C-alpha cells in the first residue's frame, strides 16, 4: 500500500508543478490580448493546450490510483477523495497527502481565476472588434447584386458619404 501512496504523491506533485506552469502562460495570454498580438496569443494557447493534455493524463492516473488505494483501505467509492484518503492512511503519508491537497486547491483556484479574467478580457476585445466592424458595415451599405429580374440592386438610399450620410 505504501507504493500506491507514493505513486499518488508523485502524481499529485507533478500535477501541482504543471498547474504552476500554466499560471504564467495565462498571464502572458492577457498581455498578448491587450497588445493585440494574435500570433503570440495563438502560440501561448498551444503551450497551454499541451500542458492541459498532460494534466488530463495525470488526472486519469490520479483517479485510478485513488480508486485502487481507496479499495485497499476499504473505503466506499464516494469516500475515495484526497481528503478522505489523507484521513485514512498512516503517518507520515496522511500529512503529505493533506498538504498536497491543500496546495492543489490553492493553485487550481488561482489558475481558474486567472483563466476567467483572461476569458473576460478576450471576450471584451472580440465585442469591441465586432462593434467597430458593425459601425463600418452600416456606413458602407450593401454591395451591388443582380436580382432575380436581372436588375442591379445597389442598396439605394444606404450609400453616400460617411460623415453626412448623403450622396
Which range is least confidently modeled, 5-14, 35-44, 121-130, 156-165?
156-165
pTM summary value: 0.70
- The pLDDT assigned to 85 comes to 84
Which range is least confidently modeled, 47-51, 89-93, 127-131, 139-143?
139-143
Q: How far apart are CA 164 and CA 167, in angstroms?
A: 8
Please indicate whether residue 133 or residue 68 has the higher confidence score (pLDDT).
68
- The pLDDT assigned to 50 comes to 94
Average pLDDT of span 155-164: 48
Average pLDDT of span 30-52: 87
- The pLDDT assigned to 48 comes to 92
Over 26-46, what HEC string results? Answer: HHHHHHHHHCCCHHHHHHHHH
Q: Which residues contact 56 (CB under 8 A, 6 or more apart)?
A: none
- The pLDDT assigned to 155 comes to 53
Average pLDDT of span 22-32: 89
Residue 75 has pLDDT above 50, yes or no: yes
User: Crossing angle for the helix pair 93-140 and 2-34, nearest 10 degrees?
Assistant: 20
Amino acid at each position: 500500500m505504501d507504493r500506491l501512496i507514493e505513486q499518488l504523491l508523485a502524481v499529485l506533485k507533478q500535477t501541482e508543478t504543471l498547474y504552476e506552469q500554466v499560471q504564467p502562460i495565462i498571464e502572458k495570454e492577457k498581455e498578448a490580448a491587450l497588445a493585440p498580438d494574435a500570433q503570440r496569443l495563438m502560440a501561448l494557447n498551444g503551450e497551454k493546450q499541451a500542458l492541459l493534455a498532460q494534466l488530463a493524463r495525470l488526472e486519469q492516473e490520479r483517479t485510478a490510483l485513488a480508486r485502487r488505494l481507496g479499495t485497499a483501505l476499504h473505503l466506499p467509492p464516494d469516500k475515495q477523495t484526497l481528503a478522505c484518503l489523507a484521513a485514512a492512511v498512516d503517518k507520515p503519508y496522511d500529512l503529505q497527502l493533506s498538504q498536497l491537497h491543500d496546495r492543489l486547491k490553492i493553485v487550481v483556484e488561482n489558475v481558474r481565476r486567472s483563466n476567467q479574467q483572461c476569458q473576460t478580457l478576450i471576450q471584451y476585445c472580440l465585442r469591441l472588434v465586432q462593434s467597430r466592424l458593425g459601425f463600418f458595415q452600416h456606413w458602407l451599405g450593401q454591395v451591388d447584386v443582380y436580382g432575380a429580374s436581372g436588375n442591379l440592386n445597389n442598396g439605394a438610399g444606404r450609400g453616400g458619404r460617411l460623415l453626412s450620410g448623403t450622396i
